[in-house]
Structures are given as structure tokens and as C-alpha cells.
Structure 1
Amino acid sequence: MSYRSTMSGRATFAGLLRAEWTKLRSVRRWALALGALVVLTVLVALLSAAGSNRVRSDDGGGGGQPAVVDNSVQDGGAFTHRTLTGDGTAQAQVTAQDASHEWAKAGLMLRAGEAHGSPYAALVVTPGHGVRLVSTVDDEIAGGTGGAPRWLKLERAGPTVTGYESADGTDWRQVGSVQLDDLPRDVLVGVYAGSAQRVEVVRQFGGESVDGRMTTGRATFAQVTVTGEGTDEWRTRDGEPADVAGQVTLTGEGDLGPDLFAEDVTNMTLTGILVGLIAVVAVAVLFVTAEYRRGMILTTFAATPRRGRVLAAKAVVLGGATLVAGTVAALTAYLIATPILASKGMPTRSLGDPEVLRAVLGTGPMVAAIALFSLGVAALFRRSTPAIAVVLLLLLVPQIVATGLPVAAAVWLDRLTPAAGFAIQQTVTRYDTAIDPLPGFAVLCCYAAVVLALAAWRLRRRDA
């Protein structure tokens, strides 16, 4: 008896799924609305790509076709270096440094190669924040306070790079160590000078403008030495021969580290989802409210008295359909818009990049979660207009209003509303990033789960 009851329950739910799928696909405008999600997403991506333009970087290009570099990483400044083979030590005294910016940097750097974004570790002195050990793999490690003059030393032992500082070149204090995995045997090591941009951000409702002004760092070094195997030939970043005997002065623009004001180009290709979501929300709401308006819900509940199962069947069918539509929309938009953006010199990234893959393929689950959230709200309100208004208010208004608020307020608005789910599409960490991708998606899922649970509870306790 228990086995038969279980099988009967499964068959009943399977029948519910078939019934709800029939409802969804038989209403032509609902099917067209899901198709509109794909069309609108791709269309907006194309328009955005066609209107974008960027001057190409000259790093690493050849044959009149300069390379496009990763704009999420800053890798500027002057670097005079030689080759170090295997383990070794670099040492220098920063005798003077211009206060071009509180985060201007002057010191020693060891890096895997000349390419933009190559793994590096740098021990630098700054005018406003003392000594810092910075790298591509770890957060900054703070050393002593105060600026130049200061002695600095970098030691390499396999993949480990350790920084030391001294006031007199005799008594050394360890600043910290970083682990640079896959560091090649031959690396570049030398003296570095750079200075960060002065950035002015104007935030207004619906958008922002970022204006950056370059500053020029200037530093003087003395007693520059490198011990270990390798060439004794010193060169600048431009490949010109350099002499570090005696005193050497470097002048450079640009900084090291993540660019907190970079454009998220991958996210740009997916912004059309915001427009397409209006159609998805409308379908999700009408999937419930249309039955209430026409009185068909009475027939449904008469056939299936366990109302929670009806809501569950609607959620499974709607979630599956929107998952597929959202994934197709995002993947198509990315594949079509990315080559156009690349041809215009925008710093595009491959779909094989884990962050890009997560952003593109994560869009489908995000769309499905928003559809389920809308379904739950519709089941609570039972009327189309207020349900659609509430969902769009919670999803889209934060995206518009946040840019007109102070950053701290905008961050909390994004974190606490279902709009946090859009974080799944971000691939660049910016100054105004509110929440990481997976926690943001989790916030959206929590909203959907809570609303659906409330809707199921209310269905069981209220007449149709």
C-alpha cells in the first residue's frame, strides 16, 4: 500500500507538471514573452557593443595591431630591471621620492615577465602610507610608517618572495612574504616608480561619470644591487639600456594593483537582461493571476486539493523554462557582442575564464530565481498590477537609484534587496561593488524561497 501510494503521488505531481507546462506553452503571448527575453538581451548587447569605442593599448602588439590588455589590472609606472635566474636578492636605497600622490610607489619589484598583468611582488615606500609589500596574489602587507629615505630588500627563494626594510641598510626588519605560484626560473627584478591617478567620480541617478587625471611619480635610488645568477644588462620597460651605477632616477605614470574604476566589459554584454526581465516578470505573474481573474483556479484546486503541490508544479515548470531562456539569452549575447567589442579595442575576456563563465552561465539561474520570486509575489497578491509593480520596484529601482546615492548607502541597498542577485554577472571588483557574486545570488534565492513559502502557507489558509 505504501509503495502504491508513493507511486500515485508521483504520478499526480507528474500530471500537474504536464498540466502546468501545457498552460505555459499554450498561451502564445507567454511563449513570445520568453522569446522576447532572448531577442531584447541580444539586441541591447549589439547596440551597446556598436556604440563602444576604446583606444587600444600599445603593449605587446605587432604588425600594427596592438594588443588589448586586461583593464581590471593596473600595471603602470617605470621599471628598470635585469634578469634573475633562480634564487637571489635585490637591494636598494630609496633616497628621495616626490609626493605626487599619497599612494605613489617607489621601490623594488620582481615579476614573471614583461607582459601586462604578469605575476609580481613589489616592496615599495609611499608618501602617505609607509612601506608596503604588494603583489598579484595577496592583500597588501603593511610595513613601517614614514617615507623616503628607506632601504629595501627583496629575496626570492623558489616561489616565495620576502621583503625587508631598514633605516640604515644594516638592521633589517621583515615586512612579509608572498607566494607566487608558477613563477618561472628566469624573472625580472629591479627598481620601480609609479603614481596613482587622481580620480573624480560623479554619481547621478541612472549613471555615473569617472574622470581620471594621471600623476607622475619620481624617485631616486642609490646602491642598487642584485645578487644571484642572470644577466648584468639593465633595461627599461621600453627595452632601452639603462645604467644603475651610482644614483638612478625613475619617472613614471600609473600604478600597480586592481583598477577599482575599470569597466566590466563582460557585464556590459549582459545588461540587456534588465530589459528582458520585464517580460519574464510579466509572464511569471500572469502564470498565477490569469487563473484567478478567469476563475480557472477553482477548477485547478478542485482537481488538486493540496494547493501547495499546484504552486510547486508551477514553480518547477516556470523555473525550468526561464532557466533555459535566460541561459540562451546570455550565451547568445556574449558570443555575438564580444567579437564586436574586441574589434573596437575593448578588453574582452574569453568564455574559458572562470569568472566570465560564471557570469554568463549564472545569468540563467538568476533569471529563473527572479521568475520564482515573481511567482510567489503573484500568489500572495493574486492581482497582476500590484504584483508586477512590487517585483520591478525591488529589482530595477535599486539599479537606478543606487548611482544617485552615496556609495555606502548604495552598497547596502544592493545587498539587502533582491537586486543583489545581479552580482552573479559581475567579473570586475570595483570601488562600488556591493557584494560578491555567489553571496549576491544567494540573497536573491532566499527572497524567492521565503516568498514562495509564504505564498504556499497563504494558499492553504485562504479561499480561492
Structure 2
Amino acid sequence: MTTPTKTVQPYRSALHPTRAGFGRLLRAEWTKFWTVRAWLLVLAVAAVVTVVISQMGASGSTTGGGPPVVVGPGGEVVNDSFRFTHRTLTGDGTITARVTGLKDASGKGLGPWTKAGIIVKSSLKQGSPYVAVMATPAHGVRMQWNFTHDTAGPSSDLAKAPQWLRLKRLGGKLTGYASVDGEKWTPLGEVGVGGGLRGTVQVGLFLAAPVHEIVHRSFGGTSEVAGSGQATGTFDRLTFQGKSTAGGWTDTDIGAPTADGPNSQPGTTTVSPTGTYTLTGQGDIAPDENSPDTVQMSFQGVFMGLLFMVALGTLFVTTEYKRGLIRTTFTATPSRLKVLAAKTTVIAAITFTTGLLATAIGFTLAQKTLRSNGFKPPEFPDLSLLENPALRAVVGSAVLLSLVAVLALSLGVVLRNSAGTIATVVVLVILPQILSFALPLPVAQWLLRVTPAAAFAVQQGVTYYPQVQHNCLPESGCYPLSPYNGLAVLVAYAAAALLLAAWTVRRRDA
């Protein structure tokens, strides 16, 4: 009599094979990391160093005793100082003038953002709302309003053709126009009239000439050449349509330039019998970009913490190659790309989480210290961790640390050598940052565009407006790329290194 045999069905996971396999790999790589005490120690030291160095940098920075700041309608610090020939306007109205010339009045050269034009301003108070149409020597005709907004108009050369300008207030809107002949008008833009520009306003001619510095840097040092801080503009064909509470035009220096220093001079206005107005003045109507960047000052520890993240990303893979354990890993999991993906995911998640915690704590403590050292509103805003630019800088710095760790891991797969990998990543990420302080500016800015060091731009808290002439110096924390574009450069390097690692791990023996 035969005994019936019972067939045992093999175990089948309810999960998709690919998902089950990758999940197992993630757990395995996670376990590898957390069972190596040295790596945990490096991770902890990276977080502590990031916080401590950021706090030390903030503690060594102080400010105070400067002139009172001017705050614009949006709460930003601004420059608002210019020569103004004006009268009141109540209700709707139009002002038209022709700018016939613009020249330097100091003998130092005309600045590219010297401005001569017409303006509608809420009041004579500095920082009050305004809308202006102007001619500039290097940037053509512009329409600007409330300091931070700028729209380009015709790029006609003022030296060859006078520029007709017009501002019209009608109902709840202000519209700017430009013309080269006074017949055909080109609309420049339309601005909704807010509360500050309703009712009675000041309208008229204005002249502003910001001081500009030209910086030259070579291997022998840095030199600065100061440009003009005073200019003369000529206007004619001035017409005004509308109701005014004043009987004529009044001349005022907005911002009282005589109080700005020994080199400041009061502006002048002369009117010829033929109706030509000549205004001489200085100052600027624009955002003030000379204040220190208190956001970037709160992340000085990230530069040092990055070194530890480079070591972690490198050792996480090169240790297995050095000890031959990578063969065991590939034997257990023949799909090498899955192994690489699991390692990348684990090291990216760990370094990002640690970096986010460290930068958030470091930023919060550094901001508190900076405020106690004089960096207070209104010149320096009281930044919240959960709003931009602080939030972008905190999360971006954590992403930066994570991407550098992924870059190091990828190069570690290619080079299979800890010292060589760490040195390569340091040369790519850290060395350009150091060299940018000493190299000629064009070379330094080129390095900060094409190397992973461009990612440090994500820590910038100052907005650099195109209508303000400024020297972008690396030692001042200025980067040639915007925050997100700079971070994208590092993303591209990390992705390219990861693709190279994937190609290498498939073609090379373990």
C-alpha cells in the first residue's frame, strides 16, 4: 500500500518581486550603516560641527551705529535720494517732458544707472510709493516703481536722440509711455494705483546719480575705482495737465544729500527763458543691496559639515571594496544596479535628514545671536524659519549636503579608493570656493558657475535686482547664479557621477 505524499507549495511573497528585492536591499544597507559605530560618530560630529561653527560665526559678527535706514513700501531697505522739481496733482492728470541730455557733473564718469526722468510720488517722504519713467545712459528707457520693480523700454541712445517721457494717472491706474518724436508713443507698463498713490501726489522731474564702484582684481590684489556720484540732466517740453494745489514748480532734495557726508552736495535746478530745465543732483531710487546677508551668515558651519558628509559617502562604499565584502553583496544580489540604488537612497536619506536638523538648529541659534549683536529690524528682517528665504536656505543646505554625499559615493564606486575619492570631491566642491577669493573676478565667477561650488548660492538671502549696479564679490557672499540655478549645477554633477558609477559597476569585476 502506498502512502500518499503531500505536495508542499513553495512560499511566494505577496509583493512584486522587484519591490520585495529592493526593500530587502534597503533594509540591508540601512543595517550596514547603523551597525558601524564610526560612521554614526562621523554623522553626529557633522551635525554638531555645523551648528557650532554657525554659532561661532554669528557670535563674531556685530553691527550698529550707522545712519538711519529707509524702508520701502514692501518693507525692504531702499535708497531714496534725488533732485526733485515738483508740484502737486489731485485727481487724474498727465505729465510729459523730453530728456535732451545727461552728463557727468563730477569728472569721474557717468554711472550706467544714472537716471533722468519724470516721477509720480506719494509724498516727499523717503521710502514713499512712486512710479517713474526715466532715461539712462547704459540701459535705455525704463519704467520703475516702488523700488523693486523694473520694466525695460526702448533702448535708444540718449546721446543720439532725445527721449520723450510721459506718465498718465487715470482712475486707478498709472501708465508710462516713451517716444522719440513726441508723436508716436510706446506704452511701457501699467501699474495699479495703491493707497499711497491715490489722492494728492507729487509729480515732476527728477535726477538721480548713484555712486558706482568698478572693482578690478588680479593675482596681485584688488583695486576699486569710484565712479560719478553727481550728474546733470536737461529737460524741455515740460507740460502738466491736471488739478494742482500749487501755483508753480518747487525744487527739493529728497533725502537731504547735504547730510550724507563731506562729499555730498545739494542739488540745483535752473530754468532758461526758453523753458529748458537743468537739474543737477545725486543719490539713487533703488533697493539698498549693501547690507550684510544675515541669512547666509547663519550657515557658515555647512562648509565644515560638508567635509564629514564627503567622508561618509565615500566610506559607505569604498570600505566594502577594500575588505572584499562587495563580492558577498553582489553574490546575494546579482542585480548590481539595485545595490547601487539602495546605497544611494540610504546615504541620501541619512545625510539629508541629519543636514536638515543641523541647519535648522544652526540657523535658529545663529539668528538669535545676530539679533543680539545688532542685526535687528528694520534694516535686518526678523526671519522666520518657515518662510523664504530662510526656508529655502535651510532645506537647500540640507540638499547640498546630501548631494555631495551622493557625489562622493558615486565617485567611490568608480575610483574604489577612499583617499582618492575624498580628494577628488574636495577639489570639485571646496577648492573652487577657496580659490574664488583670490583669483581675478572673471575667473572666480566662472568657477562658481561651472563647478559644484555653485550650489552654495542656495544660502543667499539677499535679492540682487538687475536695476542696481553692484559688484558680485565671492568674499561678500555673492554668487553669479541664482540660488536654484546654483543648486542645479550640483544636481547635474551628482547625476552624471551616478550614471558613471552605474556604467562602471556593470562592466567591472567586483
1:309: how far off? 1.5
- Paired residue for 1:344? 374
- Paired residue for 2:421? 387
- Paired residue for 1:193? 207
1:286: how far off? 0.8
TM-score normalized with structure 2 length: 0.74
- 2:427 maps to a residue whose letter is L
Structure 1 residues 381 and 128, CA, compared in 2 at 3 Å: closer, same or farther? closer
SS in 1 for 2:177: strand
1:207: how far off? 10
Question: Aligned residues, how many?
Answer: 454
* Cα deviation code 1:147-183 (max 9, x no counterpart): 598764322344442133567xxx3453541233563
36-45 or 145-154: which moved more? 145-154
SS in 1 for 2:316: helix
* Cα deviation code 1:188-210 (max 9, x no counterpart): 53332221213142546899787
* Cα deviation code 1:234-261 (max 9, x no counterpart): 675359xx99996887654322345676
2: CA distance between counterparts of 1:359 and 1:311?
A: 29
TM-score normalized with structure 1 length: 0.81
1:345: how far off? 4.1
- Paired residue for 2:254? 237
Which of 404, 410, 417 is the aligned partner of 2:438? 404
1: CA distance between counterparts of 2:205 and 2:423?
A: 59
1:417: how far off? 1.9
* Cα deviation code 1:318-359 (max 9, x no counterpart): 111111222223322332223443452474343465344322
382-391 or 326-335: which moved more? 326-335
Q: Counterparts of 1:63-462 in structure 2 under 5 Å?
A: 70=76, 74-79=79-84, 84=89, 87-92=92-97, 99-100=104-105, 101-103=110-112, 104-111=114-121, 120-126=130-136, 131-135=141-145, 136-142=148-154, 144-146=156-158, 152-157=165-170, 158-164=172-178, 171-174=182-185, 176-181=187-192, 183-184=194-195, 185-186=197-198, 188-203=202-217, 215-219=229-233, 226-228=240-242, 232=246, 237=254, 252-257=281-286, 263-342=292-371, 343-345=373-375, 347-349=379-381, 350-351=383-384, 354-427=388-461, 428-429=463-464, 431-432=471-472, 433-462=479-508
What is the percent sequence identity of the aligned residues?
36
1: CA distance between counterparts of 2:126 and 2:393?
A: 24
393-402 or 342-351: which moved more? 342-351
2: CA distance between counterparts of 1:288 and 1:451?
A: 14
- 2:502 maps to a residue whose letter is A
- 1:33 maps to a residue whose letter is V
Q: Give the structure with the higher percent helix.
A: 1
1:44 equivalent to 2:53? Answer yes
1: CA distance between counterparts of 2:156 and 2:439?
A: 37
Structure 1 gaps of 5+ residues are: 62-67
128-137 or 401-410: which moved more? 128-137
Structure 1 residues 245 and 463, CA, compared in 2 at 3 Å: closer, same or farther? closer
- 1:215 maps to a residue whose letter is G
- Paired residue for 2:63? 53
1:113: how far off? 6.6
SS in 1 for 2:150: coil
- Paired residue for 1:33? 42
1:280: how far off? 0.7
Root-mean-square deviation (Å): 4.1
2: CA distance between counterparts of 1:111 and 1:332?
A: 43
- 1:439 maps to a residue whose letter is N
196-205 or 284-293: which moved more? 196-205
* Cα deviation code 1:15-53 (max 9, x no counterpart): 222222222233333233333333333333333333243
247-256 or 323-332: which moved more? 247-256
Structure 1 residues 81 and 271, CA, compared in 2 at 3 Å: closer, same or farther? farther
SS in 2 for 1:362: helix
1:390: how far off? 0.6
1:225: how far off? 6.0
